[in-house]
Amino acid sequence: MKNNEIILILDFGGQYNQLIARRVRECNVYSEVVPFDISLEKIKEKNPKGIIFTGGPASVYADDAPKCDEGIFSLGIPVLGICYGMQLMTQTLGGSVARPDKREYGTTDVQIDNTSLLFKGFDTKNGFLMSHTDYVETLPSGFKNIGYTSSCPNAAIENVEKNLYGIQFHPEVNNSVNGTLVIKNFLYNICGCSGDWTMSSFVEESVKNLKEKIGDKKVLCALSGGVDSSVAAVLVSKAAGKNLTCIFLDHGLLRKNEGDEVEAIFKKQFDINLIRVNCQERFLSKLAGVTDPERKRKIIGEEFIRVFEEEAKKIGTVDFLVQGTIYPDVIESGLGKSSVIKSHHNVGGLPDYVDFKEIVEPLRSLFKDEVRKTGLELGIPENLVYRQPFPGPGLAIRVIGDITEDKLNILKEADSIFREEIANAGLHKSINQYFAVLTNLKSVGVMGDERTYDYTVALRAVETTDFMTGVWSKIPYSILEKVSSRIVNEVKHVNRVVYDITSKPPATIEWE
């Protein structure tokens, strides 16, 4: 990692904090989110080109208001305070913050002084997202006003001599047109960044570091076929070559042809040592007769570990175990609660059972979209890189009730038709997750002159950004009609197709 150019983002608990880090990285400058109370020593050690204070829900006058080390303002490092961050800077340096009766919320016209380095290239009036109650009332000495709105007298301030800047609005969100330019101006005009952080420099640097770390030692990786573990495996393979062994468990609960596709990519395209363990029968027999979704998850999780352990034993002691941990999983907010993480049941919580000396997490500093870009950079096919999320327990939680091989096969066929038609219609990038469910329901139908009594398949498609909430996707009727007709015609034992029109909440995305 090129650590010579890093921006630190001090997290004061605002909801857009990770977005700020991403925007900075989009400007090709590496950034890290750190707790607001990070020590001066730590900051000096990281030697950032600039520091950004995020917004946050507190008032600077609250007893438990999060405060940073005041020494930050004397380090000579440029600081940009956003919202709460600006108010904290003001209060700490001797200005005052006031609480009006009303909050200001929404995209608002901000009049700015476009001779400021922060606003280079802007018109004098710009729409930015304001979302605050408190505002800066009087400026600390040495500061000057560079922006205001009709209800916020100090919407932007600067102390050029000390390189300190504050903005009441949120440049990181999409509602702030040209918001990224504010961030870019801070990075390039004020912090003097050169912007050499790109995914290709990341790959180059990571491979170099991994080579140094791994040398000719042995590395093991559990490959799920998901984006993170795939990108991690390929990246490590560039450094470890044949010293990397990937174990890929095909438990029969993957989608149609998925096992073969994963094998082809890793063995043929990347020439990686891949052990594909075909353990469908083993999983099916453990799952026989089990109907409770949580029991299914538990059985699959346990069995996964057991099989992996057996395979790893055959390989013997390894020096490193690769994990596909990504940045949102490791950010510490400093406010006591970590960022949004699904505690969700990832089949693959392995290490305890495997004989290894150290964990390697090559994607630890990347956001999901950066992991995807890295994947593309490494030559991993687009359909894998942009694969929709797929639950660890796989199709086991999409066959409602007990699981049999026949039911799995019906589901695989129906699901494959649905996915194919969504892709044909060009909807695969706008719908975030879509799949078929084999409901345990049989109903009466008629085919030719014959009465049928067969399964009902449900189609599920959601649009979401965080998978914690989501809305059902308004797929055009003509496409639903085609999918329905293809499924009942092409998949034996299905005579009815229904579309799930429930959002999350109250429903979840998966049916189990």
- Applying CB under 6 A, the residues found at the interface with ligand XMP are 297, 342, 344-346, 389, 391-393, 433, 467, 504, 508-510
Cis bond leading into 505, ω under 30°? yes
Q: Toward ligand XMP, which CB reaches closer, 212 or 466?
A: 466
Torsion of CA 414, 415, 418, 421, to 10 degrees: -100
Output the smallest distance, CB 197 to ligand XMP, in A.
30
Catalytic residue (choose from 27, 68, 170, 303): 170
CA-CA distance, 55 to 14, in Å (whole number)?
Answer: 5
83 as an active site residue: the answer is yes
- For residues 172-195, one letter each, b for 16 or more C-beta atoms within 10 angstroms of the residue's C-beta and e for the rest, the string is bbeebeebbbbbbbbbbbbbebee
Catalytic residue (choose from 5, 27, 68, 83): 83
What are the φ and ψ backbone dihedral angles of 126, each rounded to 5 degrees? -140, 145
Output the smallest distance, CB 383 to ligand XMP, in A.
18
**Sheet hosting strand 318-322, strand order edge to edge:** 273-278, 244-250, 219-223, 318-322, 356-360
Output the smallest distance, CB 339 to ligand XMP, in A.
16
Output the smallest distance, CB 503 to ligand XMP, in A.
11
344 as an active site residue: the answer is no
Q: Toward ligand XMP, which CB reaches closer, 488 or 509?
A: 509
User: Which residues are within 8 A (CB) of 384 and not within 5 positions of it... i.e. 6 or more apart?
Assistant: 225, 227, 230, 261, 265, 375
- For residues 249-277, one letter each, b for 16 or more C-beta atoms within 10 angstroms of the residue's C-beta and e for the rest, the string is bbbbbbbbebbebbbebbeeebebbbebe
Catalytic residue (choose from 5, 104, 158, 172): 172
Output the smallest distance, CB 324 to ligand XMP, in A.
12
Q: Toward ligand XMP, which CB reaches closer, 297 or 496?
A: 297
CA-CA distance, 311 to 291, in Å (whole number)?
Answer: 29
SS3 labels along 122-156: CCCEEEEEEEECCEEEECCCCCEEEEECCCCCCCE
Torsion of CA 14, 15, 20, 22, to 10 degrees: 150
Q: Toward ligand XMP, which CB reaches closer, 327 or 434?
A: 434
Q: Toward ligand XMP, which CB reaches closer, 100 or 389?
A: 389
Q: Toward ligand XMP, which CB reaches closer, 375 or 391?
A: 391
Output the smallest distance, CB 310 to ligand XMP, in A.
22
| 50-53/6-11 β-pairing | parallel
CA-CA distance, 273 to 254, in Å (whole number)?
Answer: 21
170 as an active site residue: the answer is yes
Q: Toward ligand XMP, which CB reaches closer, 442 or 504?
A: 504
CA-CA distance, 260 to 265, in Å (whole number)?
Answer: 9
What are the φ and ψ backbone dihedral angles of 392, each rounded to 5 degrees? -50, -45
Output the smallest distance, CB 344 to ligand XMP, in A.
5
- The catalytic site residues sit at 83, 170, 172
